[in-house]
Amino acid sequence: MDKNYKPMKEYYKNKEPSIVCHNQAGSQNQQILLRIERDIAKLQTDIISIKDDLSIIKGYILIKKKREEKAWF
């Protein structure tokens, strides 16, 4: 996981609490928001692993290209 990544809870830790809606729609909205935050966190970890994989592939391609260029000389 990225060292600079902070969960959304960290950003709102020192903020003033907002008005809490105690009706059913407010509760559903809160559940949706929490689900979206979890999904975004998972996507961020997936993106980081994909970037790592792509950098490995790029390195392999560059090394292979250098080897093929040397083979012609």
Q: Tens digits of per-residue pLDDT, 27-72? A: 888 889 999 999 999 999 999 999 999 999 999 999 999 998 887 6
Asked if 3 and 44 touch (Cβ cutoff 8 Å), the reply is no
In this prediction the pTM is 0.53
Cα–Cα distance for residue pair 58/62, rounded to 1 Å = 6
User: In the prediction, which pLDDT does 17 show?
Assistant: 58
CB under 8 Å to 26, separation ≥6 — which residues? 20
User: In the prediction, which pLDDT does 69 show?
Assistant: 86
Asked if 5 and 44 touch (Cβ cutoff 8 Å), the reply is yes
Q: Which of 7-11, 17-21, 40-44 has the lowest mean pLDDT?
A: 17-21
Question: Is residue 21's pLDDT more than 90?
Answer: no
Long-range contacts of 50-53 (CB under 8 A, 24+ apart): none
